[in-house]
Structure 1
Amino acid sequence: MSARQAVAEFEALADDAWLLRLGERIDDALNARVHALAARIRAQAPDWLRDLVPAYASLAVFFDPLSVDAQTVRAWLTRQCDQSADDGAATPARTIEIPVAYGGEFGPDLDAAAAELGLSPTQLIQRHGDGDYRVAMIGFAPGFPYLSGLDPALTLPRLATPRTHVAAGSVAIGGAQTGIYPRPGPGGWRLLGRTPLRLFDAARATPSLLQPGDRVRLRAIGADEFQALSEDASE
């Protein structure tokens, strides 16, 4: 990949933040470049760096305006963008296994979604669970992972009328993405199952279980294992 491809457009978010736009689309290769750039910046960790927030095609960089001026930060970031981005595919990533109980009370939309896709519920579970997922970004709610890597054949539109209540841990499809609701709340994605894991806990040293760039493997479980893991998570 050439340096020209790695150049970002800069947008001032505030007096203490730059938004680096690497593109305008949802694309796995583009998202990998975002995470590679974030990793390169994080590895150098300049004293003025306060936070990095990656999205699908952009990276927000927050800095301390009392210790450095915005143009100095922009010049430094430009040099990082101009470096070769060949390390994008080699960026280290954790692999996190997420157990999921599919269907029934755990996934009330499973049967209808399978019928809409021309699959049996068992086939949908198998194909959904076989996905090679990556956390493209965290958003919508604290700890909510947007997972890229969904089989394109499993793309489903959001519900015409969103639910007013979605249970914490619900695993869902929204368009061409999979997501996991970290806490109860409204939502319009198709609910296929639920994980007993606690995706966000403000009391933990690292509140969000999943981080941008992580790889995710889904593992189908039954109701008994869901119950046992739920009890473990509550301890």
Structure 2
Amino acid sequence: MELKLYQIDAFTNEIFKGNPACVVPLKEWLPDETLFNITKENAVAETAFFVINGDKVHLRWFTPEIEMDLCGHATLAAAHVIYSMMDFDKQEIVFTTLSGELTVTVEDGMYALNFPSRKPVPAVLPELIAHALNIQPSAVLKSRDFVLIYENEHQVRDITIDRQVFDQINLDPGGVVVTAPGSSADFVSRYFTPQSTILEDPVTGSAHCSLIPYRKEQLNKNHMIAIQLSERTGTLYCSDLGERVIIRGNARTYAIGTIVTV
């Protein structure tokens, strides 16, 4: 069996920036063990697999360790493959996922992801996470992920993680996002996942399901620009719709290949 394989850089206009995701279209679902093996072989943070079924697309996201409940950059990458490289002529992609139906449209040359809002609530930071951080947050919130609030962009840039301590905590399927008001954007963030092959995720669309409603209240703005301050960096154009959020971004195709054995 041969499968097409696409590697897409998401939330960026530049190759080698943003967050790389692999995308594998399927005619029918393969065993989960095979999907995990493909994901591990791809050696990126997420691989998206999808099966087109009539007017809808069944989409799943895998890290080398777990199946995710929601992934922004791999959804954007899958939409880029469907719109750019497949015979798809509809105005809107409807993905069926573990997080319900997610829609993607093309707006002003960007992909617009319609995702659920996950407003975070005040929480207590686990001691292991606190001990792993070199800078302590001014506030702690939680939805799927822990959302740690910092005073300024410099603090977010300067955060380091003691991985030996950090990996002692299990947050599957979540992680830790650190955020602050931005100097060159409305807000900035970074994202860390304990016990993951890749500690720092370059650009995390799903974390913005929590960051957008929080920042909307803090900034009193419905439309915001966000930058994720990883080494690769990425830009997200965000809108708050109440129970939903819109996350817009660009994508670039890095590689197209064939998986020849599964």
> TM-score scaled by structure 1?
0.34
Which structure has the greater CA radius of gyration?
1
Q: Which has the higher helix share?
A: 1
Q: Which has the bigger relative contact order, CA under 8 A and spacing at least 6?
A: 2
> TM-score scaled by structure 2?
0.31
Q: Which has the higher strand share?
A: 2
